[in-house]
Structure 1
Amino acid sequence: MLPSDKLAALVTRHAALQAELSEKTSPEVFARLSRELSELTPVVEAIDRYAAVLREIDDVDEMMTDAATDAELRAVAASERSTLEETRERLEQELRLALIPKDAMDARNVIVEIRAGTGGDEAALFAGDLFRMYERYAALQGWKTEIVSASEGTMGGYKEIVAEIRGAGAFARLKFESGVHRVQRVPETEASGRIHTSAATVAVLPEAEEVDVAIDEKDLEIDTMRSSGAGGQHVNKTESAIRVKHVPSGIVVFVQEERSQHRNRAKAMAMLRAKLYDAERQRRDSERAADRRGQVGSGDRSERIRTYNFPQGRVTDHRIGLTLYKLPQVMQGEALGEIVDALMAEHNAALLAAEGGIA
């Protein structure tokens, strides 16, 4: 059975949030409370359904033990109880998952960095393929993708591309994409038809807010410069590109996509906050490495997580041993959700086990 005290506490908190939101408050507090309420509402609705099923089971049990109930009605009640028990078990599992401590950043937007690894021009082309896969997947989720900076490869694709993906739950669904992605295929430039293996690294960072990371302006070195690459005459006339270095950490970010220097600076600061926050997350994760080893989402960026084999039309995620013979659909972003769902399910199962099943 689920812990009734935890369920009652969630219902109480939900009612308190509704009461607080009905009072006058600052826009910042209103936004924070609204976000918490929106996350808690589906959980409380599930608690209500669970409580209703428990009441129905009690009513059926009472009917079955009542001496006045005839045999035919008792048989109907027994059948109904079996159905109610199945519903109870399903709702109980949903609530167990809902009670797992959430990653505070799951609802955040993300910054996705994709860099070509080993494989030269083919690696850059693969990096471009990965970016388009995430861009299409994001569109299917109703999210928006915006390129922050990009360095194109000589034969196409990208040596490096950084993009922001904005949408509810973006980090929750994309955070397991960090790591080394490997591709096996015959390059278009390969005359002998030999299969080449190339790689690209992906880093998915949650967008950090100012309250998450404090940055002292004295620790920054900010340079402006002319944007490079495609963009027409405007690019050559305006020093709108921004390069920001955080001296204590050595982290450097570069943004050139916007024509406005002010907007590029804002994006650069957002990227810097995300990188600083991510560095702290990785430090904390490494301290818990012994407990988390073998789990999905260990955060090890050097880990080879997935192979895309074009001759065989398959995609294999090595962390959970999942293979899909749907490579074209995955690259189109359509079947990527199947891999994401499997990774999230494995992650939740591990968290449930760590929590002792939320007994």
Structure 2
Amino acid sequence: MSGVDLPGAIRLVRANNVRALDPAPAMFEGMLRGWEQQQRSRLLARKTINDRLSLVRRFAEFTGTYPWDWTPEDVEAYFATRLSRGEVVWSTVRGQQGDLEMFCAFIADRRYGWAKACLEEFGRAPVQVCHDWNTAQHVAEFEGRPGRRAFTYEELQTFFDAADDRVEQIRKKGRKGVLAAWRDSVLVKQFYAYGTRRRETSMLDLSDLRHNPRAPHYGRLGALQIRYGKASRGSPPKRRTVLTVPEVDWIVPVIQEWVEEVRCGFSPGRHPALWVSERCGRLGVRRLDEVFAAIREHADLPAELDLHCLRHTYITHLVEFGYPERFVQEQVGHAYASTTALYTWVSDEYRNRLIEDALQRRLERGGGGTLMPQ
């Protein structure tokens, strides 16, 4: 087994003929380099790998020991401390415990040689310290922040009005930033009208505005091509096409005006980005959050609403408009319908409408107003 060249194996990371002056930290750093190589061979994203390495380093710093001395009690103490400080939410804890479990499985796997080397060097070998009885289990369908929700119709209108009002206020005061405020107003409306994620929106190019042959009256705004959808398990970014639905076709002239009349004011030259910054570059993800926060504050809306809530609202409204589940799922790029369901908050108004329709159908059939058991 020791001769197999698996990505991350100790023989590919550490030289056999070199002995470190301080073997413990050298062994630990070698483990991290080996694990990094193993994950890179799986084509995982750089951010995913870096986040996992950072977690292992923080855990080691918290315990004050190295992996061959870790115990299940260390896992309990570490995550109990983080939860007590309010540093993480449930889903984050479960994800980090899974990452720590993967690292322990890697260094304890005899095919990579780390366990054998630790036993020879320190007299102790690393073992798995994450088990069913000391880690969080996935028992709830929704593990996000309870406060996260969709906008109400009134909140959504207030938010859009505030975005437009910022433009007028800056214009009246004769200050710089009218074009940026205009861009921001159109930008947040596009977030809602197509239900896009932050990176998907940031990476949009002018060429991603597509015609829909079945809706020629929308021109080049009949659909939005998403080329940088959320990847999973080392896959490249997923692609999808989001169709413009009639209920939000007010977005068509809004974006057309931005593309044809306003965007050129930033002097973007040949830059392909749909959303350009004041420095003629692509608008970054962090800047998108800042734009949303500024408009939310101007609208005096609750801080629990974040940019992703516009996507929740889009999904909810598609359901309320009566679109089939499969259509909604494909519009937002979810692999499973159950994921789409978690994002959906169907309003009381919509449910009452369904009840009224059901009662009307029953009355038309000549049935009574009450269902009685047979």
- TM-score greater than 0.5 by the shorter chain: no
Q: Which has the larger radius of gyration?
A: 2
Using structure 2 for the length normalisation, give the TM-score. 0.25
